[in-house]
Chain A
Amino acid sequence: MNSFEIIDPRLIDVVLPESTGYPPEMAAEDTPDALWDAAGDAAREFPDHLWIEPRYWADAARDNDKYNTWPINYIDRYTNQSPTHECTCHTLRAVAECARNRQRGIQVGPPIVGQRKPISAVAGSVWLSCLSIYAEANPRQRGGASTRGVMELAARRGFLPDKIQPAEYGFRHTLTGTAGKGGVNQSSGSWVPLSRFPAGWQSTAVHLRPLEIIIPRMWEQSVCLILHGRAVGHGRQGHAVPLVGWNPTSNVAPYLDSYDVIRYDSPANIRAGLVSAYSIVSFTVPDDWDFPAGPNSGEMQ
């Protein structure tokens, strides 16, 4: 990976014309303190030892290029929310899957649009259902959700796995990945209200839960987290995205947009997104990697 390539300015600080699910009224709910409260016991301050002076960011980027330790190296799929308002949940799943894959120690990324990577099946990668969070965060379906709201749900009760998985894990409960477009690595389907979740779903979701969430207080801390291989979710300009790298040449952070494309945020956007910025640094680890939600017992529902 070459994080030093020059970026097309048209891909930087893109403002999407349509609503994606992070309108001003939702953004107004998000502040670092609100996120801290929402994360509950999982909330963590940015640890001092992760700070990297900006003059050394290029050196750290070079090391990440060498060792393939960018956040995007630990994410193996795109998701596609179009035309729903699920952006904060697609962001959340990317940040969460990055943390989980990082723990598993396999560089499954970067993702390739429209392709399923064989490594996902052997790496124990688990694909999380964005809808399993959004359906409760916004029962009205349209209008989006705050970062605070979706984070609180993930930390408290966890995700359900997507109906599509890279390997057969024998999950007892799964859910449609998105009510949007989805793709080869994400199931799509009709809206599923919380009341129609499979009976007993909580017993599966509890195994797929963020444990520690760092709330950065400065935009430079967000970049430092990225340079240490941690994806950072944030919302700005009406849209939430996961930052998965840093480009020292163009001074921008690439993000996996939930429209099957990579775009970039400048420091101005990263600063603007600080009100809703977070990074998941640990995630539940199964007793056995072959059974991510506990022993195989029962049929999928």
Chain B
Amino acid sequence: MAKSRAEIEADVRDVLVDALGVDEDDVVATATLKGDLGAESIDYLDIVFRLEKKFSTADKPFKIAQGELFPENLMTDPSLVEGGKVTAKGIALLKEKVPHVDVSEFEADPEISRLPNYFTVKSLCDFVERKLGA
């Protein structure tokens, strides 16, 4: 049976508590992984591994490809980032590749360093929900 949104949120919370060593109460929908929960680069890989483990079932593996959850390659392609700002092409790519990240506010000031602020607990839950439903 498909997991409910509440079950997904509880599982994502477990993953973040284990991966980041944070308090359960701090894992709220609006919390950002980097700013609020203190995630560092290696933690993203840890989170990916744990999500795969948590949501895989015997008949349906939950496999996250590189760049599917966190757009790592965005930082290096010069056509996507100019002078520290994400280009229109970059924004379009973000919307296409990482629809679980709400970039509507980010667009107004697309400073690349601000991008991690938009990776929230809600982003992760949306990602999992969409992927499980696919």
B partners with A: no
Q: Which residues of B contact A (CB under 8 A)?
A: none
Q: Which residues of A contact B (CB under 8 A)?
A: none
